[in-house]
Amino acid sequence: MDAAIEQNRRAAVLSEKKNKVLGVCLEDARISKSYLAVAFVALLLGGLLGLLQGLNRAGVLELPAWLNYYQILTAHGLLLVVVLSAFFTIGYFYAGLSHTLGGLLPKVRKLAWIGFWTKMVGLVLVVVPVLMNEASVMYTFYPPMAAHPVFYFGLVFVVLGIWMLATGAFINVAHWRKNHKGQHLPILAFFATGVFVLLVGATAFVAVEVLFMIIPWSLGWVETINVMVARTLFWAFGHTAVNIWYLTAVSAWYVIVPKIIGGTRWNDYLTRVVVIALVIMNITGGFHHQIVDPGISLPIKFMHVFMSLAIGFPSLMTAYAMFRVFERTGRRKGGKGALGWFKKLPWGDVRFLSPFIAMAAFIPAGAGGIVQSTNQLDQVVHNTMWIVGHFHLTLGMSVVMTFFGISYWLVPYLSKRVLTPQMNKLGVIQTIIWTVGMVIMAISMHAAGLFGSPRRTSFTTYGDFAETLGWNPLMTAVGIGATLLLIAVILQVHAVFNMMFFAPKGEVEFPIAEVEKNETAAPYMTERWGIWVVVMMIVIAMAYVLPLTDMIVNAPPGSPPFKTW
């Protein structure tokens, strides 16, 4: 009798283990694959447009009248910073939820599909007016520039889709917790919870902006709009969105990369604290995008410098944690001396190399961010090419290169195929080309910005004005970087679709690192998401009440819509 029970238990453990190593639920995989496919198509299109922009600004390509620079720039921003990032994040975390929580629930799967198609409909509604040159408002769509109303309806659908996916994630997490009383949520699902909480919080702001301010105004139901309020609501969303993509990359740094190098995770408790801190303090950071905006008093801006730098703290903890993990693993593999461990890391493995360069890029990127949070320094670089250089480091390297690194195991895992040595080599080459291209492009953008070259401006010699002609060599370098980048984009997209449909069949693991042996468990407090969400809302309330009341009560007359293009 006892023996039979024991055998049953063993069988259960074994099947659970097998599930962990091999089991990808095919139906769940289809969801993630669809999201990833859209993400990488967006990369291809966005990258192509990026090249056109780069070549234009280098002065070698004049764009035709039916496809002007600002149309392209709007599409590039939307495709890369909204579509690529959001679809990748969702595909990756849904795969993570399915893997760590033992599969998605049928109703969650249904929600994920409805959400997918809602977002696709939204996307079409957004893209069509852009293509028709009816919505060249950039991805920030600041009023008083007004696009065709359909553009905004599209945005509403995109947000609705995101809410469905977030709901699905919450349902699955709650279900798991009911069946695993008192246990800590698996770490990747924990990150996913934080990310979806932030996605709902961030999109709530943009939903208010679009539904209650912009749509009535673009339809002509109201005459004017409060520009400052709209910008403030936008940046509560825009800033958080970007930080969500970053948090997604960070999740891979904490959870996946240690496993790939054959090590263990950094302290579980502190990892969870980092996630909670980033969730609570994130949204209010939006104000650092408005340092130069009028209508916000200096003391408020000053306080928000603290808020922005406070987000820097968990980021610094991340840097520390990563190097700690690398060193520990390298030493266990026999690395000696102060830096011997460094050589023991698997440099030839694209699944490590790409996220590693992504992390390294965050050092200059973070430093640039601190510069921009500083009022006086930001006066110099605001709205110049410097800013464009900055977010191509943060997004174009730190975030996107981590996503690329993930794709080299996630796509084969989902498709039940393998990463062949040739594909790994292609990945390494792709990583190097992307790195070189992005470094050239970002450095010259930073430099051009310091000399005053404005962002969001198609090529012009300013009537051959001597001062501004000096920017041109730097802009030529931008064009060279852009060309290299497009090569890397093509390689990457090729790799993803090859791994999805053509690579040899096989099983690869979903790499999730374990915690150190005999590490003390995190206190249960970290699991009380309800409380963290309320704390987050109180922080947001405190940060926004003052400037918003001021902007609304002391508002200027407001602006009618303009079509500036």
Partner 1 sequence: MTQFIYGLLLYIFLMIPPIAALFESMMITHMHMQMPMLVISGFLMSGFLLRRSHRFFEKWNHNGIPGITLFMMIMIYWTIPRTMDEALTMQTMEIWKFMSLPFLAGMPLRDSWKKLTKAGKNIIIFIFTVKYFGMGALYIWSEESLCNNYLVIDQLTLGWGFITTAICLVIYLVYAFTVNPSEYE
- Determine the interface stretch with partner 1 among 116-124, 296-304, 308-316, 487-495 (rule: CB under 8 A): 296-304
Q: Which candidate, 504, 513, 502, 511, places its Cα nearest to that of 409?
A: 511
Q: Is 553 in the site for partner 1 (CB under 8 A)?
A: yes
Q: Which candidate, 130, 117, 157, places its Cα nearest to that of 35?
A: 117
Long-range contact set of residues 480-483: C-beta below 8 Å, sequence gap at least 24 = 480/58, 480/440, 480/441, 481/54, 481/437, 481/438, 481/439, 481/440, 481/441, 481/442, 481/444, 482/50, 482/51, 482/53, 482/54, 482/55, 482/58, 482/437, 482/441, 483/51, 483/54, 483/55, 483/437
Q: Is 177 in the site for partner 1 (CB under 8 A)?
A: yes
Q: x/- site string to Cu ion, residues 186 to 225, per CB under 5 A?
A: ----------------------------------------
Q: Is 456 in the site for ligand HEM (CB under 6 A)?
A: yes
Q: Tokens standing for 537? A: 């809302």
Residue 177 binds: one of ligand HEM, partner 1, Cu ion, none (C-beta under 5 to 8 A by kind):
partner 1
Task: Write down the least CB distance from residue 176 to partner 1, Å.
Answer: 10
Q: Is 73 in the site for ligand HEM (CB under 6 A)?
A: yes
Task: Write down the least CB distance from residue 85 to ligand HEM, Å.
Answer: 6
Q: Is 57 in the site for ligand HEM (CB under 6 A)?
A: yes
Residue 81 binds: one of ligand HEM, Cu ion, partner 1, none (C-beta under 5 to 8 A by kind):
ligand HEM
- Determine the interface stretch with ligand HEM among 192-200, 315-323, 480-488, 548-556 (rule: CB under 6 A): 480-488
In contact, 431 and 350? CB cutoff 8 Å: yes
Task: State the Cα angle at 137 between 474 and 113, rounded to 5°.
Answer: 110
Task: Write down the least CB distance from residue 242 to Cu ion, Å.
Answer: 6
- Phi, psi dihedrals of residue 559, rounded to the nearest 5°: -120, 140
Task: State the Cα angle at 459 between 455 and 461, rounded to 5°.
Answer: 110
Give the up-direction half-sphere exposure of residue 335: CA atoms within 13 A in the CB hemisphere: 17
* CA of residue 126 relative to chain centroid, distance: 20
Interface size with ligand HEM, residues (CB under 6 A): 28
Residue 537 binds: one of Cu ion, partner 1, ligand HEM, none (C-beta under 5 to 8 A by kind):
partner 1
Q: x/- site string to partner 1, residues 155 to 174, per CB under 8 A?
A: -------------------x
Q: Is 239 in the site for Cu ion (CB under 5 A)?
A: yes
Q: Is 33 in the site for Cu ion (CB under 5 A)?
A: no
Q: Which helix (H) or strand (E) holds 43?
A: helix 26-57
Give residue 516's region: left, alpha or beta (phi > 0; psi -120 to 50): beta
Range 483-542, binding partner 1 (CB under 8 A): 524, 527, 530-531, 534, 537-538, 541-542
53 versus 267: smaller Cβ distance to ligand HEM: 53
Residue 239 binds: one of ligand HEM, partner 1, Cu ion, none (C-beta under 5 to 8 A by kind):
Cu ion
Q: CA-CA distance, 248 to 266, in Å (whole number)?
A: 17
Interface size with partner 1, residues (CB under 8 A): 23
Helices (H), 333-374: 340-343, 350-373
370 versus 538: smaller Cβ distance to partner 1: 538
Q: CA-CA distance, 424 to 80, in Å (whole number)?
A: 24
77 versus 161: smaller Cβ distance to ligand HEM: 77
Question: Contacting ligand HEM (CB under 6 A), which of 123, 486, 499, 551?
Answer: 486
Q: Quick check: helix, strand or coil at residue 374?
A: coil
Residues at the interface with ligand HEM (CB under 6 A): 47, 50-51, 53-54, 57, 73, 76-77, 80-81, 84-85, 138-139, 388, 391-392, 395-396, 400, 455-457, 482, 485-486, 489
